[in-house]
Amino acid sequence: MDISGAYDSILYDIAGGFSLLVLLLAGIVCIVWDIFENDEPVLPFVAAMACVVGIVWEVRNLDAGSSTVFYDSIRAYGLASYINITILLSALATVILSVPYLKRIKHGYGEVYALIVFATAGAVMMGTANSLVTVFVGLETMSISLYILAGLVRRDEGGIESALKYFLLGAFSTGFFLYGIALLYGATGTMYLPEMASGFIERGELTLLFWAGIALFFVGFLFKVSAVPFHMWTPDVYQGAPTPLTGYMSTASKAAAFAALVLVLYYGLAPMPVAAWQTALAVVALVTMVLGNLLALVQNNAKRMLAYSSIAHAGYVLVALTAGTSQGYAGAVYYLLIYSLMNIGAFGVMALLEWDDKEGRLQTIDSLAGIGFRKPLLGVAMGVFMFSLIGFPPFGGFFGKVAVFAPAIEAGYTWLAIAGVLASALSGYYYLRVLYVFWMRTEEQADPAVRARAFPVSFSSAAVVVTCALVLLVIGFIPYVRDLTQIYFDASVFATMP
């Protein structure tokens, strides 16, 4: 490696990795400040500002040509900016929703915001990785912060059990993921994604080492995105973790993992014969959609229902990845943005409607009967999120589903797309049931504890929820957002190797 130009390129590196550096700086400021001023109310503001600065910077760079910085370790501009915006928006919403929530459950420590920011930095690093080393380091930075956040309420046995399950299965899957990286490294001779492909073209054959590596690598990834054979941890973790942080896990961390998978598939593996893992991904996508939706049908707890729903949505994204075309990858990235907005909003509403003081793990959906009439703003916003999650036409979710299913049909996976649409239709039952309970039942049917409770909604939380809902109403009609993802993926790299 030639390092003679290190000082010349440092400004370029700082510009390319600006949002990542701002996040890391904000995280350090938060955690050091917290030592001197315990539970300083400015800390969430610092965290939120870091996200805002990052979003503004990335929006400015959306049109810039994609490049790599820090010695090809991470990607910057273009597609990377788009992914970063998705992650940073989820993080910003999480920080704002967490402030009143954590104050209410008396866990508003300053470290929480430092950890959210560090997790976001890890997510950004992973979602824009250009080397397997960066994928691993980003993944672990994110996961280790999230293990702590999941167990934030450590006096509650549900909260700590959620943290334990997240930690054990996360660390276990990390082992597989890392072994996959090691074997891929041995098979390709490089850690850098674009070079992996060229190594293959030179060698012209795929070894056993490669297939073992790719299998372990996918197992690790599928654990992280909670696809079905490896989904067991998701409902337990989501149910027990503090609700706004659950929203973070289901959006930012999932978006980052999927983005890294897209980058690996597109930059690293695109020139290779895709049929081999297309079949595997198709099967996983089918099982994930069907099982996720079926198990969501029988849940009484809203957070657990949303956990199974997020498993199902991972299946929809996998449908797009199955296609293995530039449209498919673009559709997946577009879907992640929309999915993040819907899910952070839905978890935000559930955080505001929480009454059991056990992170919502004991309250049933039915207990909130008629709450829509008492909290019309939350009720209407929840309506938007639920219809959008189903994929109902005017809302963002519909356009997202079109973007993920259409490439699969073009690639010859019509049966998979049909299964996806049927699974979405099935999902209507449990999403609409929430709205039925919120709006079609009277308040007398609600739990007495709910009727006695005021559910104060702070202005900032309401603003986040309403903004998410409004964006979902219009995002499908902004072709710019959707077409933007199309220009990031160049179809010419799919020169299939014999």
Among candidate residues 118, 140, 114, the one with its CA nearest the CA of residue 129: 140
Binding mask 198-237 for another protein (x = CB under 8 A): -------------------------------------xx-
Q: How far is the CB of 156 from another protein (least distance, A)?
A: 8
> Which stretch of DSSP H or E encloses residue 74?
strand 74-76
> What is d(CA 74, CA 13) in angstroms, rounded to the nearest whole number?
10
Does residue 70 touch another protein according to CB under 8 A? no
Instruction: Give the nearer residue to another protein in terms of CB position, either 276 or 362.
Output: 362
> What is d(CA 442, CA 440) in angstroms, rounded to the nearest whole number?
7
Among candidate residues 451, 284, 304, the one with its CA nearest the CA of residue 364: 304
Does residue 240 touch another protein according to CB under 8 A? yes
Q: How far is the CB of 289 from another protein (least distance, A)?
A: 19
Instruction: Give the nearer residue to another protein in terms of CB position, either 183 or 321.
Output: 183
For another protein, the binding residue among 37, 39, 63, 157 (CB under 8 A) is 157
Only one of the segments 58-66, 167-175, 410-418, 446-454 lies at the binding site for another protein (rule: CB under 8 A); that segment is: 167-175
Does residue 290 touch another protein according to CB under 8 A? no
Does residue 111 touch another protein according to CB under 8 A? no
Tokens 């967490």, located at residue: 98
Only one of the segments 104-112, 152-160, 267-275, 392-400 lies at the binding site for another protein (rule: CB under 8 A); that segment is: 152-160
Q: Which two tokens stand for residue 245?
A: 């942080």
> Which stretch of DSSP H or E encloses residue 316?
helix 302-323
Instruction: Give the nearer residue to another protein in terms of CB position, either 171 or 474.
Output: 171
Does residue 148 touch another protein according to CB under 8 A? yes
Instruction: Give the nearer residue to another protein in terms of CB position, either 147 or 413.
Output: 147
**Residue 357: Cβ-neighbour burial (10 angstroms; 0-12, 13-18, 19+):** middle
Q: Which two tokens stand for residue 220?
A: 């690790």
Does residue 282 touch another protein according to CB under 8 A? no
Q: How far is the CB of 429 from another protein (least distance, A)?
A: 18
# of chain residues touching another protein (CB under 8 A): 43
With beta carbons less than 8 A apart as the criterion, state whether 22 and 54 touch: yes
What sections of 205-253 are H helices per DSSP? 208-224, 233-240, 243-248
Does residue 190 touch another protein according to CB under 8 A? yes
Sequence-distant (≥ 6) Cβ neighbours of residue 417 within 8 angstroms: 319, 405, 406, 408, 409
> What is d(CA 325, CA 474) in angstroms, rounded to the nearest whole number?
27
Whole-angstrom CA distances from 38 to 102, 305, 381 are: 15, 36, 35
Among candidate residues 388, 312, 376, the one with its CA nearest the CA of residue 344: 388
For another protein, the binding residue among 61, 66, 239, 243 (CB under 8 A) is 239
For another protein, the binding residue among 87, 99, 123, 132 (CB under 8 A) is 132
For another protein, the binding residue among 93, 126, 249, 295 (CB under 8 A) is 295
Residue numbers at the binding site for another protein (CB under 8 A)? 131-133, 136-137, 140, 144, 147-148, 151, 154-155, 157-158, 160-165, 167-168, 171-172, 174-175, 178-179, 181-183, 185-186, 189-192, 235-236, 239-240, 295, 361
